[in-house]
Amino acid sequence: MNGSSAIVIGASIAGLVTARVLSDHVDRVMILERDHLPDEAVPRRGVPQGRHAHVLLAAGQTLLTGWFPGLTDDLVAQGAVPFDAGDVLVYQGGGYLARHRLGHLAISMSRPLLENALRRRLLQQRSNVTLRDQLAVDTLLVEDDRVVGVLSDGVQHRADLVVACTGRNTRMLDHLAKSGFAVPEVSAIRIDMAYGTRVVTRRPDDLDRALALVIDDPTRGHRMGNMVPVEGGRWIVTLGSFHGENPPTEPDEFLQFARSLPAPALADVLGRAEPLSPVLTHRMPTSQRRHVERLRRVPAGFLVLGDAVCSFNPVYGQGMSSAALQARELDRTLRRHGFASPSLPRAFYRRAAKVVAMPWRMAAVADFADPGTTGPKPVGADLSLRGLDWAVRAGHASAVVARQMVRVYNLLARPRSLLHPAMAARVLLAARRSPARNRNHPPDPSPRRTGPPGTQSERPSGARPG
């Protein structure tokens, strides 16, 4: 590698997986992080969304466990909750997805625990990676159409490659505009999402699934909620709403908001659990995608990755896995072009665009089910929405369809897999058996445990094998 070096700006999950990939290609990798990074798994200032519920999709987890051997055992030893990725209570489209097994081990934990575990394993397992916190990057150093390093607190840090993992509001590309480089076009879909989160105690009899997701009918007032188990015997319960409505922060009103959802699973747990935190709020006005792949002229020696490329509606849990998939494409691009090649940035951006295109379209199509959503609507979105509605209803009655839908949600399969002739026939037949075939029907009862621990849970209507 001949003394080569790289700088990663930001020690987020995107920054950590990027540093891991780069460590295979250059002699030295240095991560620069403006926050203080605590030794404990606690939220930090630079990741305000870290206090809220996070889900690591199967595609992302597969990559993380490959890059960081022993990660799963480490997380479980610290209290993370292992479960089959199909063992999720999903209420969507007027009914529950049928129970099934995906056959993929998933881990549920808080965002700070995952970030802390990745950071420790990276520094322990990759001796050529160093990390400096409380060091903010002021600007990029540009010489002859190439980024050659960064300036921080008046000190130059030079490197052969700089990768900015600085989030959706990154200023790095604006710095390049001062050197004559174009700023990429941005597609922004206005969702006006606000969500509130409360941490409560978790009991073994709270729910007969690993975690729960409830999505209201977007055409009739868009609310949602999810509940994930995390270390310390806790639930993180996050409730959200769209287009101007804010979840309340008062505990009693927060509970009433949960009771307004079409399925009672979350409210039932909230109503009897001991609160461990106040209600904390966060807002996200838009999903956005920077079309870096359309740039005709880009500086050598510099890339952006993660939310700086694409930032999704958090309902779908795609952010961390998208960053991991982008890092995988960076690895593939480096193997073909090398870290010093002027063609590296454009080649990587083309690959990154292909990675984010599918989850971006999936999220955008679902967002446009709400009539209040505005922005660039994907071509064929209305037709895709009708197909999604059929697939969701079929998933209520068929475990086979439900399993394939969850594979799509976890970025393990493409949406078009639901159009395979055999699967499409199953969707058409099973959708007719959905309890939600008439939207005026009341929602099914929640499949939660209603008796003392150890009793059988109630099976939701439509959850028989398909």
SS3 assignment, position 412: coil
In one-letter notation, the amino acid at residue 137 is V
The reported pLDDT for the residue numbered 289 is 97
161-164/129-132 β-pairing:
unpaired
pLDDT tens-digit series, residues 79-98:
999 999 899 999 999 899 99
The reported pTM is: 0.90
The reported pLDDT for the residue numbered 451 is 35
Q: For each of the chain's 466 residues, which pLDDT tens digit applies?
A: 578 999 999 999 999 999 999 999 999 999 999 999 989 988 888 887 788 888 889 999 999 999 999 999 999 999 999 999 899 999 999 899 999 999 998 999 999 999 999 999 999 999 999 999 999 999 999 999 999 999 998 899 999 999 999 999 888 888 899 899 999 999 999 999 999 999 999 998 999 888 888 887 777 668 899 999 999 999 999 999 998 888 999 999 999 999 999 899 999 999 999 999 999 999 999 999 999 999 999 999 999 999 999 999 888 889 999 999 999 999 999 999 999 999 999 999 999 999 999 999 999 999 999 999 999 999 999 999 999 999 999 999 999 999 999 999 999 999 999 999 999 999 999 999 998 875 544 344 344 433 333 333 333 333 333 3
The reported pLDDT for the residue numbered 221 is 67
SS3 assignment, position 331: helix
Structural domains in the chain, sorted by start? 5-49+110-185+291-364 (3.50.50.60), 188-285 (3.30.9.30)
Reference 39, options 3, 67, 9, 78; nearest CA is 78
- Please give the DSSP secondary-structure letter assigned to residue 418: G
Token reading at 70: 């022993």
Q: How far is 190 from 168, CA to CA, in rounded Å?
A: 14
